[in-house]
Amino acid sequence: MATVFDYRAVSSVPEAISLLVQYGDDAKVLAGGQSLVPLLNLGLAQPAILIDINGVEGLSGVERRDGELVVGALTRHALAEHSMVLHEAAPLLAEAYPLIGDRQVRARGTIGGSMAHADPVAELPTVAVCMGASLRVEGKNGARDVSATDFFVTYLTSSLGADELVTEVRFPVTAPGTGVSFQELVRRKGDFAIVAAAATVELDAGGACRNAQLALAGVAGTPLRCEAVNDVLRGNVPSPALLREAAELACEGIEPESDVLASAGYRRAMAVVYVRRALEAATERAAGT
């Protein structure tokens, strides 16, 4: 049986928030629709109202502002993928964008929608956690900024309130001399990742690691930020043995679940492999710069 719901196209953030306050958990926000529409078709989402924010001006665009890369929530993946500003300020983000779905998905999908959907293996949430990004969220009580690590709670669940809307995502600008890498294990290009790893490695003039960040996806209900990697690498010249040690420590204690794509044991084993590959590639690129 088809789901029956109301539909409202809004022209401003306050108008969208007003409807979210009125309908609460019975409302769904339509941006790109690449995650929501399939859920509607399958009957897994049954909202009382669909709030279309595509007509809201000022929510799309990529710019550098106050030392950060700011991406509006309605920015289509395809626009961001080809943004020179984004490539220069956040090369890890630029590397992840072409891996999202296919061209049709990237033509309609939005960064705000990807964040709000909170898929634990999605590319953009993984990069956001790795880079220490923050999200600007607006609701009836005004605006607030929340870190990516605090925003994602568990599978398809975020800390976004029923009356709140993501309006922009802010990424720290990547420092010169930093190498980046996004590695993911997929059955086919564009599929959901079985495991994925996002890494940044910054080297000093002597080749020693100044800073390293890593996020691991596919082994928990959210992407995991692995601080142990920086603890191992910082101050040392990364060697193959040291990178292997960092990869093993990053995956220590993870407890992935089995599903139709892979067993827990396979995910655990592949997590170590893909973390190591990401760290090796990021280190090699940092040395090359």
What is residue 270's predicted lDDT score, i.e. its pLDDT? Answer: 98
What is residue 23's predicted lDDT score, i.e. its pLDDT? Answer: 97
Q: Specify the domain boundaries for CATH 3.30.43.10 within the chain.
A: 6-52
pTM of the shown model: 0.96
Q: Which CATH architecture has domain 178-288?
A: 2-Layer Sandwich (3.30)
Q: What is the mean pLDDT of residues 255-262?
A: 95
| Residue position matching structure tokens 């049709």 | 104
Give CA–CA dist 266/264, Å, rounded: 5
CATH number of 62-172: 3.30.465.10
What is residue 2's predicted lDDT score, i.e. its pLDDT? Answer: 58
Share of the chain above pLDDT 70, in %: 99
What is residue 86's predicted lDDT score, i.e. its pLDDT? Answer: 98
Q: Which helix (H) or strand (E) holds 104?
A: helix 103-108
DSSP of 15-65: HHHHHHHHHGGGEEEESS-TTHHHHHHHTS---SEEEE-TT-TTS--EEEE
Q: What is the mean pLDDT of residues 18-43?
A: 95
Confidence tier at 144 by pLDDT (50, 70, 90): very high
* 1 has pLDDT over 60: no
Q: Specify the domain boundaries for CATH 3.30.390.50 within the chain.
A: 178-288
* 79 has pLDDT over 80: yes
Q: Specify the domain boundaries for CATH 3.30.465.10 within the chain.
A: 62-172
What is residue 190's predicted lDDT score, i.e. its pLDDT? Answer: 87
* 217 has pLDDT over 70: yes
| Residue position matching structure tokens 């779905």 | 101
What is residue 289's predicted lDDT score, i.e. its pLDDT? Answer: 72
**What topology is assigned to 6-52 in CATH?**
3.30.43
Confidence tier at 236 by pLDDT (50, 70, 90): very high
User: How many CB atoms neighbour CB 208 within 10 A?
Assistant: 13
